[in-house]
A and B are shown apart, each in its own frame.
Chain A
Amino acid sequence: MKANASRSPILARSQKRRQIDLEIMVDWIRPGSRVLDLGCGRGVLLDELRRRKEVYGVGVDHDPTKVGVCIRKGLNIVQGDVAGSLQRFPPDSFDYVVFSRTLEMIGEPARTLGLALTLAPSVLVGAINRGFWKNRFSFLWGGRTARNEVYPLPWEDLPLTNHLSVGEFLAFVDRSGYRLAASVYLAGDWETRCTRWVSWRAGYAIFHLQRPPA
């Protein structure tokens, strides 16, 4: 399994992504809480939360294959898009709304995050840092977005509509008035934590947003 994973960089990354989101978010989420996971994929996080934290979880994903996997696991899953799903729940239906590599894929992230923060007092965001130094150099030298194991697809096939960088996100948090309750930055290996020069050094970032203080 491990040997296989190391041979395919994309698979290795996706498995690692699960691990990092898992470890950190599972750590942050209080036992017995209600979690809405937008773009839940195969439900790895929700499955783990259910097992370890007795969480009432609801997942949303548009991919029927992944929806099938979640059904098989006995998770609550709604096939559909993020924006539509957010409108189906009244305020304070959840304790956490999770965007794990989802925010980059949707339009109007501010509106979406705003809505998510009415549904739950806390929003967790996991994202690849577009501003990671290698990505910056790639653009600087080649004038093109990076193509590597994290961004395997060429420009014309990228599903990402809103590239997210640590710098952009932190500036947005400042403008929005939301409270950044916690953040974890991982270096290019997506394992080692880093705390300085994160806008350059972080390959992956995880944020815990809260409503603005009343």
Chain B
Amino acid sequence: MNDATQPSGEGDDGGEVGIVSHHDFDSPETFFFRSGESVPALRIRYETYGRLNREASNAILVCHALSGDHHCAGQYSLRDRKTGWWNRMIGPGKPIDTNRFFVVCSNCLGGCSGTTGPSSPHPETGQPYRLDFPVPTIGDMVRAQALLLDHLGIDELVAVTGGSMGGMQALQWAIDYPERVRNVLALATTPRQNAQAIAFNAVGRTAILQDPQWQGGRYPEGEGPHVGLAVARMMAHITYLSDEGLQQKFGRSRRLAAEHQSVEGVEFEVESYLRYQGQSFVSQFDPVTYIYFTRALDRFDLYALGGGSLEEAFAPVRSRVLVIGFTSDWLFPPEQNREVTAALLRGGKRASYAEVDMEFGHDSFLIDAPELRRFVREFLHRP
């Protein structure tokens, strides 16, 4: 816990949660995956902001997306310039107000930022699990989060929220634990990916698997399919943005005049940006986790869960749901978001759909926008 309950800042922006640190929860029990496979023990890395009240009734769970982690707000030291991935949304006086709420965010099961996953040591061999780690589903991730909440003594959540893969988890929460979730806030998400989104994930996986350093997943520690992972990230990053967003940010601006460039060099600013994204990703992310998480995304299918009917899949839901789509998101387009709300309403549930007009594509949900902040604030106003 930390000092995230300071007086709220002036105006709409709110204050900062400040310096934070992560915690580890070690579950000593065997964790069974939906596939029937299991791991003998589980570590879940997480962060919390704000204070849990005496009734443990003010908790909000934040679920991260594919490349995110448990660090969604604050910074690790005064010199740490990089704040958590949703820092603009979480803090004292911010839309997810740490003066009111106790915010929990954990690294997903199968992740690579501290929670047990393919890069964790296999308890028998001491070597990384790699492909011996079971492939998690979104449902498995949610069940691991539920274990953490049990450990924290939280029976019922004020809300569970997340964007993209985090939004899938939020919806899964509402289905799997209807009595534990009062509100669901899902952003830039989908009840199932269309062929296009699966296709992009397939290219990313292929880049990793075709990297000569992949070696069937048995590469030495510290080595591995770095080029493949970087290429996968570069391509995926394009799908998170938009034509307009990229054009606005980079246009056709060049680093050097074309005639001074070798064809192999970095010529355009956008090229340089993507290379940097790819390279920095390699030092933070595990290739097997990347393959696993994209598989989890691809396999997530609420229609199939409901025997072809989304309404059927949502039948257990008791939460109030707000889905927010983004106009320029072509990976999980507004239509797929709106359909989640429509299906809930057809089933007589309490649900709303709001749309934010932003040009930054799928990643818009991570970007600070007054309209987005306002929707979140209104939704949590009287939870």
Contacts and interface: CB of A to CB of B under 8 A. Distances in A.
B348 A56 contact: yes
- Among A69, A74, A93, max chain B CB count under 10 A is at A74
Contact of A58 (B345, B379, B382): B345
Contacts of A79: 353-355
Interface in B331-351: 338-339, 341-342, 345-346, 348, 350-351
B279 interface: no
Nearest to A72: B378
Contact of B352 (A34, A56, A64, A71): A71
Nearest to A70: B352
Contacts of A90: 346
A76 interface: yes
A93 B347 CA distance: 9
A72 B346 CA distance: 22
Interface residues of A, number: 21
A79 B338 CA distance: 9
A67 interface: yes
B79 interface: no
Contacts of B378: 68-69, 71-72
B353 A88 contact: no
Interface string B31-74: 00000000000000000000000000000000000000000000
Nearest to A78: B353
B381 interface: yes
Given A68-B374, A71-B322, A78 B342 contact: yes
Contact of B354 (A56, A67, A88, A93): A67
B354 A76 contact: no
Contact of A68 (B338, B339, B341, B354): B354
Contacts of B351: 76
Given A69-B378, A89-B346, A80 B352 contact: no
B190 to A, nearest CB: 16
Interface residues of B, number: 24
| Listed residue (B342, B346, B350) with the most chain A CB atoms within 10 angstroms of its CB | B342
A93 B348 CA distance: 9
A80 B348 contact: no
Given A64-B355, A64-B371, A78 B382 contact: no
Interface in B283-311: none
B346 A80 contact: no
Chain A interface main SS type: mixed
A88 B336 CA distance: 12
A205 interface: no
A76 B345 contact: yes
Nearest to A90: B346
A142 B44 CA distance: 75
Contacts of A67: 352, 354, 375
B314 to A, nearest CB: 14
B320 interface: yes
Contacts of B338: 78, 80, 88
B345 A74 contact: no
Nearest to B357: A64
Contacts of A71: 322, 352, 354, 375, 378-379
B382 A80 contact: no
A195 B348 CA distance: 39
A80 B322 contact: no
25 contacts: A56-B348, A58-B345, A64-B354, A64-B355, A64-B371, A64-B375, A67-B354, A67-B375, A68-B374, A68-B375, A74-B350, A74-B382, A76-B350, A76-B351, A76-B352, A77-B352, A78-B341, A78-B345, A78-B352, A80-B355, A88-B346, A89-B342, A89-B345, A89-B346, A90-B346
Given A68-B374, A88-B345, 16 more contacts: A64-B354, A64-B357, A67-B352, A68-B375, A70-B352, A71-B378, A72-B382, A77-B353, A78-B338, A78-B345, A79-B353, A79-B354, A80-B338, A88-B346, A89-B342, A90-B346
Interface of A: 34, 56, 58, 64, 67-72, 74-80, 88-90, 93
Interface of B: 320, 322, 338-339, 341-342, 345-346, 348, 350-357, 371, 374-375, 378-379, 381-382
What 4 pairs across the A-B complex have the smallest Cβ distances? Answer: A72-B378, A88-B342, A71-B378, A77-B352
